[in-house]
Structure formats: C-alpha cells, structure tokens
Amino acid sequence: MMRVILLGPPGSGKGTQAKLLSQRLGVPAISTGEMLRAAVSEGTPLGRQARAIMERGELVSDGVMTELVRERIQRPDASGGFILDGFPRTIQQAEFLAGIVGNAAPVAAVINFFVPEDVLEARLLGRSRVEGRSDDRAETARERIRVYREKTSPLVGYYRQRGLLTEVDGVGTIPEIAARVVGALPIVQGVA
C-alpha cells in the first residue's frame, strides 16, 4: 500500500511528478486541481462555486475539498494506494485525511517541492500561454503563490514533526526531478 502526498506551490511541478510516480507505482494520481477544473468546465454546482474562488487565486474551502477527496480515495482503483497532488493544503485537511486512511495504512511519505518564486511565476505564465488556463494570469499567479505560502507553511511543519516530510529541489528537467522524488522515497527504491 503506497500513499504519498506531493506538496508544493502552484507551478512547482507536482502534477507532472504525480503522474510519473503514479505510472511507476501503479496507483492513481489524484489531483484536486484537475477535479475542480473538470467540475468548472462541466458547470456543476461545485464547479460554479469553485470558479469564482479560483479566479481570485484563493483556495476552495476545506469542506468542499475534503468531500471531493473522500469520494475519490474510496474508489476501488485507490484501494492499493494513491498519489495526492494538491491535497491537503491545511492542517485541518491533513487531520481529515489521517482520519479517513486510519492507522492500518497511513500516508507513507510527504514530498515538498522547493522552487524559487521567480521560477514559479515564469512557469505559471508559460503554462497560461500553452494551456490557456485563466487561473494563471500574472496577478492571479502571484496571489496563488502568496496564498499557498500563507496557508500551507503550517502544513509543512505538521508533516515534518511527524517524520514524513522530505524536501525536494523542484528546479531542473522533469527526469532530474523525478529521480530526486524516487530517491526521497526509500520505500519505492527498486520499483521498476
């Protein structure tokens, strides 16, 4: 059972690394951002609620996010583990997650990507041009990074105190960063 959390600000490469690690381990990569963007594009009630919040660069409420994640990690494909990208973002969400997964199969590791803010902003603005993401405009990008730092700093300490956190340099090529991620998880070394 492999349960891994990837933390890092917007533009740090969590999504890319989650997909690579998912393929390597054979467990689903669960991206709350992708789930929210799908809800927005489908025009669901949750999507309409989330759209305005995301356009301001703010975080969607704990209540909305925890229910979204609870439903997703209880699906059969996640029974053997999962890679979480974008959740938890607060200590309250982390405690909720610990309550769901329980002691029998807790989160095995938490990887925190460190990327300088100028690199993050450049990545987000580049992604906006390539993917047409409205939530990656310059002002919104800066606000998303600021909100992330403000809300998530305590979460880094929370996982560090529990001995689960490993910091990974998120600057470099995708394969270089992927090698650092795998190297930071001794429990996955040797997995093809």
Quick one: the chain helix, strand, coil %, rounded to 5?
Answer: 60, 15, 25
Residue 19 annotated in active site = no
Give the whole-angstrom CA distance, residue 71 versus residue 69.
Answer: 5
Residue 137 annotated in active site = no
Which of the following is catalytic: 14, 51, 72, 180?
A: 14
Q: Please give the distance of CA 14 from its chain centroid, rounded to a whole number.
A: 6
Residue 127 annotated in active site = yes
Q: Which tokens in the block code for residue 153? A: 């700093």
Which of the following is catalytic: 3, 89, 123, 180?
A: 89
Which of the following is catalytic: 24, 133, 142, 151?
A: 133
In this structure, are residues 3 and 106 in contact, taking their beta carbons and an 8 Å threshold?
A: yes
Residue 37 annotated in active site = no
Residue 160 annotated in active site = no
Which of the following is catalytic: 3, 72, 123, 144?
A: 144
Q: What are phi and psi of 171, to 5 degrees?
A: -110, 130
Give the whole-angstrom CA distance, residue 141 versus residue 19.
Answer: 23
Which of the following is catalytic: 127, 137, 151, 160?
A: 127
Give long-range contacts, CB 8 A cutoff, 24+ apart: 95-101. 96/62, 96/66, 96/70, 97/66, 97/69, 100/69, 100/70, 100/73, 101/3, 101/73
Residue (of 154, 138, 178) closest to 21 by Cα position: 178
110 membership: H or E segment, kind and range: strand 109-114
Q: What is the set of active-site residues?
A: 14, 89, 127, 133, 144
